[in-house]
Structure 1
Amino acid sequence: MTEPTFTPRVFSGIKPSGGLTLGNYLGAIKRFVGMQGEMETIYCVVDLHAITVWQDPAELANATREVAAGYLAAGLDPTQSILFNQSQVAGHAELGWVFNCVARVGWMNRMTQFKDKAGTNAEKVSLGLYAYPSLMAADILLYHATHVPVGEDQKQHVELTRDIAAKFNHDFGTAFFPITEPVIDGPATRVMNLRDGTRKMSKSGESDMERINMTDDADTIAKKFKKAKTDPAALPDTLDGLAGRPEARNLVDIYAALDDSTPEAVIAAYQGAGWGRFKPALADLAVAKLAPISQEMSRLMNDPAEIDRILAQGAARARQIAEPILKQTYDIVGFLRS
């Protein structure tokens, strides 16, 4: 069987729930923008994933626009990349069902994020929350995406996507779906909590001081970094000296990511410095990088019709790619269409 050649194509998405944080920006959006021009890029607001837990409809619509505004304010060019919200392309749900019938229950039982989110209440959560990794595979493979930029915590879902593609190809004697590669790079692919460096920065954390919201103004950004938890010791002269110091390592990683540098370079520049020197420098850098994005997001959110227009145009472009791939999938499976 001749192996097909797939167009190099990136797909990734962000769920519209709870507002964008610095973690979304450094772990995802900044990297998405940086990949424009390297290959074909398709980016999505994954609103179908949002409803795996109940969402207020008006808040969901607003959150969807906010994520789109975050993409655009950070530099995503809707003429260069495709930007849309997932529910406007029906093929995501349709291919998701096909993949529900390809994926195995045992694979889903190994998904650590479901266990984390369901906790001890697994019997009462939605079926969608259990099965959403299969929909995530459909999101990716509906476009024959070859690369997916993800944080370390999402790598397992790309591995599941590879398993589903391989099983579909094997079951139907084809090489139709690519074996997608995860792209994990950069110093802050997993941004941690500003009050507890052992926990990921979250939209749903108890205190607003735990996170940098992408809608925070300059004064709020500076205040949060200056009050971020640290330890008494100064910065070491090597990166190894940050072992066992999660809050310190997190702030160094954030500085490196904002500065397009490396943690090693940050340590070289600030070795021996106390937090009274480093945190104000980090705050200034963060304000310089993030405040313009916050201001542009605010401007865009005041013009929801423009955001909706961009998402609609992106959805039309996405469907042009997705519909032939879905049609071929149906042909391979044997679905009869009159």
Structure 2
Amino acid sequence: MQRVFSGIQPTGIPHLGNYLGAIRNWVTLQEDHDCVFCLVDLHSITMPWDPQTLREQTLGSTACLLAAGIEPTRLYNQSAVSAHARLGWIFNCVSRLGWLNRMTQFKDKAGKNRENHSAGLYVYPNLMAADILAFHATRVPVGEDQRQHIELTNDIGQKFNHDMGVEFFPQVEAFIPPAAARVMSLRDGSKKMSKSDPSEQSRIVLTDTADDIALKIRRAKTDSEPLPSETDGLSERPEARNLVSIYAAMSDETPADILARFSGQGFGPFKNALADLLVERLAPVASETQRLLQDETHLLSVLRAGAERANSVSEPIVQEAERLVGFLR
């Protein structure tokens, strides 16, 4: 059974893009993989943060992931397992500056003010490699925009192996689940759904009420043309394509199936049906999340138990890496 590692920033309650792009696939992967799922709070402090907000958001993310179907023993927060930071430092000393200079996500996040950002933001791809290789994971579910990180992980692992004269770290496969959906903003079909968007109408969060969901879908940007009969007809209509893709992902159908049902119709009936579907599928997650949020003690106990399991797997691996580089124990 292959081991899967995946992490998610603890930004509080996830939105629909997080759910369809990652969380739902995590739940499926549990069926036939040895899964390790991590709330990457060490990564969260590479950008400016508020300590109390980070704590609250970590608990909120935990509640929602459990409500969505993640098995409790597979989930933990990154900072509770020291193997991440220890191997991350080793990889800081293995990785090359030229490799990090090519990482596009640092350029995107830092923008023109890169000199004012933390060193942590610059070297976080090395920590991401440590997150994966501390467990000898061989599959990592990622989106297309994360492939570069998997390539860097393999570069670091191979260089470590070469420098130490061993075959210790395995090759890692970027696994893009076939059901993964790229969910865009409800207000701008050219941008990914994101919590950083100032408009709350741009996204559906997993604890939205039925009324919230219906209102956001009703207000979602569309155009004046009816829905086409073929998917090619969506190529120049990003907002329409986004809503059809969401419907298809939530109903486990293809966009072609959805268009066969709604082609020639305006967006009114389609949006009503989409809102009903979202409410039906997300209401159980929302109610269970709210229930779990009332019991902080339970959430903390889940994270501690998950950290114990994660530590039992990662500690022997990282101890051996430390021995290989010459550290005394």
TM-score (norm 1): 0.94
Question: Per-residue deviation at 1:187?
Answer: 5.1
Task: Provide the residue aligned with 1:86 in structure 2.
Answer: 78
- Once residues 335 and 47 of structure 1 are traced to their aligned partners in structure 2, the CA distance between those partners, rounded to angstroms, is 27
| 1:242–1:249 CA contact under 8 A, matched in 2 | yes
Q: Tell me the SS of whatever aligns to 2:14.
A: coil
| 2:29–2:35 CA contact under 8 A, matched in 1 | yes
Residues 255-264 or 306-315, more deviating: 255-264
Task: Provide the residue aligned with 1:270 in structure 2.
Answer: 262
Task: Provide the residue aligned with 1:3 in structure 2.
Answer: none
Match of 2:313 among 287, 310, 321: 321
Match of 1:34 among 21, 28, 31: 28
Question: Per-residue deviation at 1:39?
Answer: 1.1
1:237 to 2:229 alignment: yes
- Once residues 112 and 248 of structure 1 are traced to their aligned partners in structure 2, the CA distance between those partners, rounded to angstroms, is 29
Alpha-carbon distance change, 166 to 264 in structure 1, aligned in 2, over 3 angstroms: farther
Aligned residue identity for 2:30: Q
Task: Provide the residue aligned with 1:217 in structure 2.
Answer: 209
| 1:16–1:45 CA contact under 8 A, matched in 2 | yes
Match of 1:71 among 62, 65, 74: 65
Task: Provide the residue aligned with 2:40 in structure 1.
Answer: 46
Question: Per-residue deviation at 1:248?
Answer: 1.1
Runs of 4+ displaced beyond 6 Å: none
Alpha-carbon distance change, 261 to 60 in structure 1, aligned in 2, over 3 angstroms: same
Aligned residue identity for 1:40: D
Question: Per-residue deviation at 1:305?
Answer: 0.6
| 2:22–2:180 CA contact under 8 A, matched in 1 | no
Deviation per CA, 1:200-243, whole angstroms, max 9, x where unpaired?
11111110001111221111011111111111122212111111
Deviation per CA, 1:107-164, whole angstroms, max 9, x where unpaired?
1111111111111111101111111111011011100111111122222212211221
- Once residues 85 and 224 of structure 1 are traced to their aligned partners in structure 2, the CA distance between those partners, rounded to angstroms, is 32
Equivalent positions of 1:181-196 (< 5 A) are 181-186=173-178, 188-196=180-188
Equivalent positions of 1:243-254 (< 5 A) are 243-254=235-246
- Once residues 237 and 311 of structure 1 are traced to their aligned partners in structure 2, the CA distance between those partners, rounded to angstroms, is 48
Question: Per-residue deviation at 1:93?
Answer: 0.4
1:334 to 2:326 alignment: yes
Task: Provide the residue aligned with 2:117 in structure 1.
Answer: 125
Task: Provide the residue aligned with 1:59 in structure 2.
Answer: 53
| 2:12–2:59 CA contact under 8 A, matched in 1 | no
Q: Tell me the SS of whatever aligns to 2:7.
A: strand
* Corresponding residue pairs, total: 329
- Once residues 275 and 195 of structure 2 are traced to their aligned partners in structure 1, the CA distance between those partners, rounded to angstroms, is 20
1:159 to 2:145 alignment: no
Aligned residue identity for 1:76: I
- Once residues 294 and 319 of structure 1 are traced to their aligned partners in structure 2, the CA distance between those partners, rounded to angstroms, is 30
| 1:187–1:254 CA contact under 8 A, matched in 2 | no
Match of 1:301 among 284, 293, 301: 293
Q: Tell me the SS of whatever aligns to 2:244.
A: helix
Q: Tell me the SS of whatever aligns to 2:197.
A: coil
- Once residues 291 and 240 of structure 2 are traced to their aligned partners in structure 1, the CA distance between those partners, rounded to angstroms, is 34
Match of 1:16 among 10, 19, 23: 10
Question: Per-residue deviation at 1:269?
Answer: 2.4
Question: Per-residue deviation at 1:170?
Answer: 2.1
- Once residues 279 and 271 of structure 1 are traced to their aligned partners in structure 2, the CA distance between those partners, rounded to angstroms, is 13
Q: Which has the higher helix share?
A: 2
Q: Tell me the SS of whatever aligns to 1:44.
A: strand
Identity %: 57
- Once residues 283 and 109 of structure 2 are traced to their aligned partners in structure 1, the CA distance between those partners, rounded to angstroms, is 32
Aligned Cα RMSD in Å? 1.3
| 1:149–1:182 CA contact under 8 A, matched in 2 | yes
Deviation per CA, 1:40-78, whole angstroms, max 9, x where unpaired?
011011000001112211111110011111110001122
Task: Provide the residue aligned with 1:290 in structure 2.
Answer: 282
- Once residues 149 and 200 of structure 2 are traced to their aligned partners in structure 1, the CA distance between those partners, rounded to angstroms, is 29
Q: Tell me the SS of whatever aligns to 1:101.
A: helix
Match of 1:109 among 101, 109, 113: 101
Task: Provide the residue aligned with 1:228 in structure 2.
Answer: 220
Unmatched 5+ stretches in structure 2: none
